[in-house]
């Protein structure tokens, strides 16, 4: 029950994060600045320059907006191309990650059962995590560009923009995606990567052999310890014909009757 609750929480959080990221690609005011309305100007009260990933726009005091669409892909500024590419790569990875996670969740009845679902869920969490990092890198790249223009000394004719609401919404969405990926991974990590422990398989006074435990659904194999030649006459050695013995149903809590004397 606890595992299912964590997986459903991860699904809702990651889906909400991808929805935020998807909305920011269509939103306006990625960067914005205003002019006029200061110093007793009566000609221009207030005017806004703003941009998104697809166009540059100007809005005057009468709320009339004039926009200039960005040209074709190969003539757009490299910064805009990079942000677009990272966001689209992240959305593509998130699409496949959402499918894998939905199929691999314990509360769904598709995708097989047992370890296959856990592997699908873990693969989906990796897709989510990589996609979230890609989106986060896109927003950080855009923030770096705006910050360098704002805090660098330049001529008075160059506009200095501020960050708009889509940047902050996208950052929140990226962190939601990363959080959802972590919630997915913690529910299956111990099952796919069990911690190795040491089990006493065979031993005697002064001579012991150890082996590491495997998953519970696997059969363990071990070999007898072959003592030195000088101790064979005392009956402690094992014949050379018995090289490998299969020990079935052995766990760290219960050993076979053969090893009960240890």
Q: Which of 28-32, 213-217, 241-245: highest mean pLDDT? A: 28-32
Provide mean pLDDT across the span 129-150. 92
pLDDT the model gives residue 223? 46
Handedness of CA 31, 169, 140, 70 (dihedral sign): negative
Which pLDDT band holds residue 2 (cuts at 50, 70, 90)? Answer: confident
Extents of the domains making up the chain: 1-192
Share above pLDDT 70 across residues of the chain, in percent, rounded to a whole number: 68
Please classify residue 60 by burial: count the beta carbons closer than 10 Å to its beta carbon, then call 0-12 exposed, 13-18 middle and 19+ buried. Answer: middle
Kindly tell me if the per-residue pLDDT of 231 is higher than 60. Answer: no
Q: Average pLDDT, whole number, for the chain?
A: 76
Tens digits of residue pLDDT in 8-38: 999 999 999 999 999 999 898 999 888 766 5
Task: Check whether 92 has a pLDDT greater than 70.
Answer: yes
Is residue 254's pLDDT more than 70? no
What is the separation, in whole angstroms, between the first and last Cα of the chain?
Answer: 40
- Residue 70 has a pLDDT of 84
DSSP-derived 3-state class of residue 34: strand
Provide the greatest CA pair distance for the chain: 113
What is the spatial distance between Cα 170 and Cα 153, in angstroms, rounded to a whole number? 28
Do 57 and 51 form a contact (C-beta atoms < 8 A)? yes
Task: Could you please state the CATH topology (level 3) that the domain comprising 1-192 is classified under.
Answer: Butyryl-CoA Dehydrogenase, subunit A; domain 3 (1.20.140)
Banded pLDDT at 224 (limits 50, 70, 90):
very low
The percentage of residues in the chain with a pLDDT greater than 90, rounded to a whole number, is: 32
- At 12 the pLDDT is 93
């Amino acid at each position: 029950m606890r595992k299912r609750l964590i997986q459903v929480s991860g699904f809702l959080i990651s889906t909400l994060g991808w929805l935020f990221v998807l909305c920011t690609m269509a939103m306006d005011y990625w960067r914005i600045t205003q002019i006029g309305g200061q110093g007793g100007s009566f000609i221009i009260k207030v005017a806004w320059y703003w941009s998104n990933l697809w166009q540059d726009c100007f809005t005057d005091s009468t709320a009339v907006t004039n926009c200039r669409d960005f040209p074709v892909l190969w003539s757009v500024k490299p910064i805009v191309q990079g942000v677009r590419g990272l966001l689209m790569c992240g959305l593509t990875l998130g699409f496949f990650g959402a499918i894998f996670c939905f199929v691999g969740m314990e509360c769904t009845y598709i995708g097989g059962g047992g370890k296959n679902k856990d592997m699908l869920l873990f693969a989906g969490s990796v897709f989510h995590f990589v996609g979230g990092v890609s989106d986060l890198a896109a927003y950080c790249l855009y923030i770096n560009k705006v910050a360098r223009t704002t805090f660098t000394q330049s001529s008075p004719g160059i506009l200095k923009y501020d960050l708009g609401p889509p940047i902050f919404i996208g950052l929140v969405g990226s962190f939601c995606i990363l959080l959802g990926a972590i919630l997915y991974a913690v529910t299956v990590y111990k099952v796919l990567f069990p911690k190795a422990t040491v089990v006493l398989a065979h031993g005697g006074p002064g001579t012991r052999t150890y082996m590491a435990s495997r998953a519970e659904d696997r059969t363990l194999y071990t070999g007898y310890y072959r003592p030195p030649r000088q101790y064979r006459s005392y009956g402690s050695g094992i014949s050379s014909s018995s090289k490998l013995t299969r020990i079935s149903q052995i766990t760290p809590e219960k050993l076979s009757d053969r090893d009960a004397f240890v």
